[in-house]
A and B are shown apart, each in its own frame.
Chain A
C-alpha cells in the first residue's frame, strides 16, 4: 500500500471561482470589454469631473454660441454663454445617478412582484400578473410626465416616476425563473427540511434566478437614462441641476446657429447608453448558461 494519490495533483482541474469564470466569458466579448472601459471613464468623469474642471455650469462665461475649440472652450458655449463642457461634465452625474436609482427602484418592484407571483402561484399570481399587465397598458412617458408635473420635479420624484413604470419586464422574467426553479429538486429538499417561505424565496430561489435578472437590469439602467433624458428634454426636470436631456431641450431652438449645443449632449447620452447595452451583451455571454457550452 502506498500513500500516493490515485490522480497526480497537476491533472486535477482547479475549480475556478465563479466570478473568474464569468469574467473569462465576458472577456471574450471584445466590444463589451471596450464598452466597460468607456463606461468606467464616464463614471470617473461623473464623480471627479466637477472637481477636476471646476467651472460653474450655470455661470455665463463668454458670449453665447462660441463654437467648439475657440476662445478656450473645448465644446463652446450655449445660448446663455455657459460652458458646454462644464455642463456635460455636471450632467453626467445626474444622468448616471437617476439611471441607476430608477433602475434599482424598478428592479426592487419587479423582483418582489415576480418572486411572489412565481412562488405562490394561484390567486396571488393571477392578481399580480393582472397588475403587471395594467402597467404595461399605461402609456409610460405620459404617466411619468404627469407624476413629475403634479408632485414636483425633484430628483427623487423623477427617479420614482421612472422606476414605477418600468418594472414590468423584470417582473415577468423573475416570475418565469421562479416558476422554473421552484420545481427543482434542491428547492424541494430545502422545503422538506423546513425552510421558511421567505428564506426559500430570497435565500434559495432568488440567487439562482439572478443571471437573467442581472442582464435585464443592465439594460434597464440604459433605458432609465434615456427616459430621464426624454423627461428633461421636455423641461420636466429639476431646474437646479444640469442634465444632458435638458441641455438639448433648452438649446433646440437654436439649432440653426449652433447645432453642436444639441449634437454634443446627445452624443454623450448615446455613447453612455450604447456602452451600457454592450456591457449588458457581455454579461449575457458571461451569465447565460445556455450559451456557455458553445
Chain B
C-alpha cells in the first residue's frame, strides 16, 4: 500500500518533469533561427516564398506558438513524436529502433561499473594500504580525468588494431549467419570495448565511494559482534557489512544516469555504435527538429525511469529508506 502510494506520486511527478522537458525544448527550437520549412527548402535546393508558406501551413508552423506547443504535447501523449523529414520515418519508430542499442550499452556499462567498482572497493577497504587500494586510487584518478572518447580510442588502438581481439566498429557483423546465440555472441563481442570505455568513467566513482562506505561499516559495532561470535571473515564482509555499504553506492549510481547518457553519446561516436547518441548527432547536424525533440524527450524519460528503478532497488536493499516519509 505504502509502496503503491509512493509510486503514484513519483509517476505523477515524473510526468510533470517530462512536460517541463517538452516545453523547454520546444521553446528552444522555436527561439532558434530557421525552422523546418527553411531546412526542407534548403535540402530541395531553394524554394520561393509561396512554397515556403505552403510548407509552413502543412506543418502548422503558421499558427501561434502556444497552439503549436499544445498540439505537440497532445501528440506526445499518444506516443506520436512527429515525422522526421530527414529520415522519412515517424520519429517514434526511428527512436524505438535505436533505443535498444543505447539501453544495452548504458545498462551493461552501469552494471559492470557497479559490480567491479563495489568488488574493488570492498577488497581495498579490507586492506587500505594494499595493492588493490592503490589500484583503485589510480583508476579513480584516471576515470575522473581522461576524456571518455580518448579512452575509447586508446582501447580501440590497443585491442582492435594492434591485437585484433575485438571488432573495430558497429554492433553486429552482417555477414554472420546463424541462430540467436551466434548473433548474441557477435553483439557481445562488439559490446566489450564500448562498455568498458563507458564503465571506466563511472566505476572510478563507485569504487571510491564503496571503499569509503565499506571502511566506515567495517569499523561499526555490529560487524565486531559478528566477528566476535566467530563468523568467517568472508561471511561478515559480504553478507553483513556489504548490505549496509551498498546503499550510498546505489544512490550515487542512480544520480549518474544523465551523465552515463552523456558519456554514451561520445562512446557511440567513437565506436559507431548504432544508438540514440549517433542518431542525435546526425539529426542535430541535419537540423531535424522533430527527431532532436524526440531524442531529448526519450533520454529524459530514460533518466527518470532509471531514477525510479534506483529508488525501488534502494528500498529492497535498505528497509530504512522510505520508512520515515
Q: What residues of chain A have their CB less than 8 Å away from a CB belonging to chain B?
A: 133-134, 136-143, 145-147, 149-151, 222, 226, 229-230, 233-234, 236, 245, 248, 252, 255-256, 259, 262-263, 266, 269-270, 273-274, 277-278
Are the C-beta atoms of B161 and A137 separated by less than 8 Å?
no
CB-CB under 8 A for A139 and B300, given A147-B28, A262-B153: yes
Please tell me if B149 contacts chain A, counting CB pairs below 8 Å. yes
Are the C-beta atoms of B20 and A255 separated by less than 8 Å?
no
Give me 17 A-to-B residue pairs in the complex whose CB atoms sit less than 8 angstroms apart, sorted by A's number.
A137-B307, A138-B21, A138-B300, A139-B261, A139-B299, A141-B263, A142-B261, A142-B299, A145-B265, A146-B28, A230-B147, A245-B149, A252-B153, A262-B153, A263-B153, A266-B153, A273-B145
Within the assembled complex, what's the spacing in Å between the Cα atoms of A270 and B200?
14
Are the C-beta atoms of A145 and B280 separated by less than 8 Å?
yes
Stretch at the interface among B191-199, B281-289, B317-325: B281-289
Q: Which of chain B's residues have a CB closer than 8 A to the CB of A133?
A: 17
Are the C-beta atoms of B141 and A274 separated by less than 8 Å?
yes
Within the assembled complex, what's the spacing in Å between the Cα atoms of A90 and B285?
26
Nearest A residue to B300 via CB reads A137
Are the C-beta atoms of B300 and A233 separated by less than 8 Å?
no
The prevalent SS among residues of B at the interface is helix
CB distance from B167 to the nearest CB of A (A): 15
Within the assembled complex, what's the spacing in Å between the Cα atoms of A133 and B10?
13
Please tell me if B296 contacts chain A, counting CB pairs below 8 Å. yes
Most buried by A among B28, B147, B295: B147
Q: Which of chain A's residues have a CB closer than 8 A to the CB of B296?
A: 138-139, 142-143, 146
Most buried by A among B21, B141, B148, B149: B149
Please tell me if B262 contacts chain A, counting CB pairs below 8 Å. yes
Are the C-beta atoms of A274 and B258 separated by less than 8 Å?
no
Are the C-beta atoms of A134 and B149 separated by less than 8 Å?
no
CB distance from A146 to the nearest CB of B (A): 6
Nearest B residue to A267 via CB reads B150
Are the C-beta atoms of B32 and A141 separated by less than 8 Å?
no
Are the C-beta atoms of B281 and A146 separated by less than 8 Å?
no
Within the assembled complex, what's the spacing in Å between the Cα atoms of A151 and B156?
34
CB distance from B140 to the nearest CB of A (A): 10
Please tell me if B157 contacts chain A, counting CB pairs below 8 Å. yes
- Rank and list the top 9 A-B pairs by shortest CB-CB distance, nearest first: A266-B150, A141-B262, A150-B32, A274-B145, A139-B299, A273-B145, A149-B284, A139-B261, A229-B147
Within the assembled complex, what's the spacing in Å between the Cα atoms of A136 and B141?
24
Please tell me if B122 contacts chain A, counting CB pairs below 8 Å. no
Q: What residues of chain B have their CB less than 8 Å away from a CB belonging to chain A?
A: 17, 20-21, 25, 28-29, 31-33, 141, 144-150, 153-154, 156-157, 161, 255, 258-259, 261-263, 265-266, 269-270, 277, 280-281, 284-285, 287, 292, 295-296, 299-300, 303-304, 307
Most buried by B among A229, A233, A273: A233
Q: Which of chain A's residues have a CB closer than 8 A to the CB of B146?
A: 266, 269-270, 273
Nearest A residue to B292 via CB reads A146
Q: Which of chain A's residues have a CB closer than 8 A to the CB of B277?
A: 142
Q: Which of A138, A147, A248 makes the CB contact (< 8 A) with B258? A: A138
Q: How many A-B residue pairs lie within 8 Å, measured between CB atoms? A: 126
CB distance from B209 to the nearest CB of A (A): 15
Within the assembled complex, what's the spacing in Å between the Cα atoms of A263 and B156?
12
Q: Which of chain B's residues have a CB closer than 8 A to the CB of A222?
A: 144-145
Q: Given known contacts A139-B262, A252-B153, A266-B146, what 10 new A-B pairs fall within 8 Å (CB)?
A: A134-B21, A137-B17, A140-B262, A145-B265, A147-B28, A151-B32, A234-B265, A248-B150, A262-B157, A273-B144
Are the C-beta atoms of A234 and B269 separated by less than 8 Å?
yes
Within the assembled complex, what's the spacing in Å between the Cα atoms of A266 and B153?
10
Are the C-beta atoms of B144 and A137 separated by less than 8 Å?
no
Within the assembled complex, what's the spacing in Å between the Cα atoms of A248 and B269?
12
Are the C-beta atoms of A226 and B147 separated by less than 8 Å?
yes
Within the assembled complex, what's the spacing in Å between the Cα atoms of A142 and B284?
9
Within the assembled complex, what's the spacing in Å between the Cα atoms of A138 and B17?
10
Nearest A residue to B158 via CB reads A259
CB-CB under 8 A for A269 and B147, given A145-B281, A151-B32, A233-B269: yes
Nearest A residue to B270 via CB reads A252
CB-CB under 8 A for A255 and B157, given A142-B261, A233-B266, A262-B150: yes
Within the assembled complex, what's the spacing in Å between the Cα atoms of A256 and B303?
37
CB-CB under 8 A for A245 and B284, given A133-B17, A142-B265, A146-B296: no
Q: Which of chain A's residues have a CB closer than 8 A to the CB of B285?
A: 149
Are the C-beta atoms of B266 and A230 separated by less than 8 Å?
yes
CB distance from B159 to the nearest CB of A (A): 13
Q: Which of chain B's residues have a CB closer than 8 A to the CB of A140?
A: 258-259, 262
